[in-house]
Amino acid sequence: MFTKSFSATWKPRGPNRGSNVRLMRRIIAEDAEWSLAIVPLLTDLCIRHIVKNFRNNPILTQLLPEHQQKVLRQLPPDLPLAVTANLIDDENYWHRCCEQRWPVCHLDCHGGSWKRLFFERHLENLIKHFIPGSTDPAVILDLLPLCRNYVRRIRVDQFLPPVQLRPPPHNGDQSDSGSEGETEEPSMDHYQLGELVAGLSQLEELDLVYGIKDCGMNFEWNLFLFTYRDCQSLAATIKACHTLKVFRLTRSKVDDNKARILIRSLLDHPALEKLDLSHNCIGDRGARAAAKLLSHSRLRVLNLANNQVRAPGAQSLAHALAHNTNLLSLNLRLNCIEDEGGQALAHALQTNKCLTTLHLGGNELSEPTATLLSQVLSVNTTLTKINLSCNHIGPDGGKQLLEGMSDNKTLLEFDLRLSDVAQESEYLIGQALCANREEARQRALNPSHFSAPLTAKGPENPVG
């Protein structure tokens, strides 16, 4: 191309100015397609070099901001974390890293920070695939100095048990849950979080499920074991973690004793606000321990859904609730507190001035509880959401609740589905709620509370 153009420009003038080098050069310069831009800038070259050798010689902070941007834009996302973790804060880089590793990323669940998302998911991944005994614990602990400042939440929904010999599960096929509990416990312990959590200075949320996903036909009961040692080490871990705000331990077969161990370690915890022990097998003793926790902590949300809490447990919870000033939300869905427990809770609500959300769905409640609740409705001014679905409240109870609703101006949601309430009263209660909601909207001049129910119910939907 160059030669062509050169000859094209050169030939017509050729005879006149033959062998002059300077002229030749001038002619080259006059080439229409040549421009100075073809020559890369030295800075560009340097940046390219830096990017190329970033793995061995990371130079970033010394550069000018604009050059930093360029370098970051060109860095490959597969650099070792040891190099990048504490050096790069640029969100775009971590965005690329995340997108490369995971097709779907929920940035909102990680505080809107790509870096945090990356490290949290990376760590969760490592924990998920950690096999005690065979995996080197250093794999996780090495990451600790890199991610300690960024990880605020650990959400692990699977803990792999240690590898077992093949024969025993085949032999013990018929002898199910009874045999596996005691004999194989020492070898069934899962990864101990203690060291990791102690190293994470920013940890606020711990969401654990002691179980296995996608086991398919390899199912064994002992894969889903939350052993005593696990429990004790977890208790020690959460006790030591003073920054913890949210603790979730769901679907892990936590029974009364384990719940008591855990809750004892949480007594007087400085930061804990949210405790979720749903989908376990906690009975009345565990509920009593939770009640004690209510009066010895600043807990704001307590979730004991789908457990085995019965009337005594509910009564002790109610006793703690009567004078509590912290708890905002109490969830006792799918328990069996029955009327006795329901009445106790209703009594407690007459004095409580703090609770806003109460979920008593599927608790075998019936008319007497409804009677008491209707009295509560006319007195209490803090409750905004009550869920009484899947109970046997009956038409009379519905009427009484309707009466109670007529005096209430604060309740925004009242779920009475599948609770044998007459349609008419349910409709009227719905209208009262509508009026309340409109009033609340007028009061706040902020229609956002219409979306609030969605978010409130959001976490429960996938569980059901």
Partner 1 sequence: MNPPVPLGILEDKEEEHLATQVLGPSINSDNPQERIQARRLRIAARLEARRREALGEYLDGKKESEEDQSKSYKQKEESRLKLAKLLLYGTELVTNIQVATDIREIHRRVEEEELKRQRLEKLENEVKTSQDKFDDITAKWEEGIHKKIPQELWELLNSQQVHCAGLIEDKNKLISELQQARGPGHSVPARWGRLGAYNWELKIKDDQYVKDLKKQSEDICVLLERMEEQVKTVMRTFRQELNHIEKAFEVERQELLSSNKKKWERALQAHNAKELEYLMNRLKKVEDYEKQLSKQRIWDFEEYNMIKIKLEQDVQILEQQLQQMKATYQLNQEKLEYNFQVLKKRDEESTMIKSQQKRKMNRLHDVLNNMRSKYAKQIKQFQEENQSLTSDYKRLVIQFKELQKAMRHFVLIDEEKFRDFWVMNEEEAKGLISRAFDVDRIIHTQHLGLPWTAPDFWFLKNVGPLFQQQQKSATQILEEVLMQTEEEGSEADQELESYLDLPKQVSASTTRKILMLLCDESGFLIESKLLSLLQPLEKSECYLLRLDAIFSALGVESEDDLYKLVNFFLKYRAQHLSSQEGEMMPALEPVPKGEEEEEKKEKEEEEEEEDGESLEEEEAESLVEEEEASTSPRLIHPNDVLKILEAFVKGLKKPRDARAPVKLQKAARDNSKDSDYWKALATVIPRSRQNLWDGLYAALEKYHLVLMRRAELLLECNTLEQQNTELQQLLQKYLGSKINSELQVPPTQVLPISTKSN
For residues 134 and 455, which CB has a smaller minimum distance to partner 1 in the complex? 455
Q: What's the closest the beta carbon of residue 418 comes to partner 1, in angstroms? A: 5
DSSP string for 351-418: H-SS--EEE-TTS---HHHHHHHHHHHHH-SS--EEE--SS--HHHHHHHHHHHHHH-SS--EEE-TT
Q: What's the closest the beta carbon of residue 445 comes to partner 1, in angstroms? A: 12
Looking only at residues 155 through 174 of this chain, which bind partner 1 when binding is defined by CB under 8 A? 174
Q: What's the closest the beta carbon of residue 176 comes to partner 1, in angstroms? A: 8
3 near partner 1, rule: CB under 8 A: no
> Contacting partner 1 (CB under 8 A), which of 62, 134, 448, 461?
461
> Contacting partner 1 (CB under 8 A), which of 58, 132, 168, 453?
453
> Contacting partner 1 (CB under 8 A), which of 92, 99, 427, 446?
427
Q: Are 413 and 430 in contact (CB under 8 A)?
A: no
The C-alpha atoms of residue 65 and residue 131 are separated, in whole angstroms, by 44
Q: What's the closest the beta carbon of residue 342 comes to partner 1, in angstroms? A: 15
Looking only at residues 320 through 379 of this chain, which bind partner 1 when binding is defined by CB under 8 A? 333-334, 336, 361-362, 364
For residues 145 and 459, which CB has a smaller minimum distance to partner 1 in the complex? 459
Structure token digits, residue 243: 């920054």
What Cα–Cα distance (Å) separates residue 331 from each residue in 45, 309, 355, 374?
A: 62, 11, 11, 19
Q: Are 156 and 123 in contact (CB under 8 A)?
A: no
Question: How many binding residues for partner 1 (CB under 8 A)?
Answer: 24
> 3-state class of 75 per DSSP?
coil
284 near partner 1, rule: CB under 8 A: no
Structure token digits, residue 1: 């191309």
For residues 62 and 423, which CB has a smaller minimum distance to partner 1 in the complex? 423
Q: Are 276 and 303 in contact (CB under 8 A)?
A: yes
417 near partner 1, rule: CB under 8 A: yes
Q: What's the closest the beta carbon of residue 299 comes to partner 1, in angstroms? A: 25
Q: Are 318 and 345 in contact (CB under 8 A)?
A: yes
Structure token digits, residue 152: 């605020």
389 near partner 1, rule: CB under 8 A: yes
Q: Helix-strand-coil percent breakdown of the chain, rounded to 5?
A: 50, 5, 40
Which residue ranges make up the site for partner 1 (CB under 8 A)? Answer: 174, 333-334, 336, 361-362, 364, 389-390, 415, 417-418, 423, 427, 430, 447, 450-451, 453-454, 457, 460-461, 464
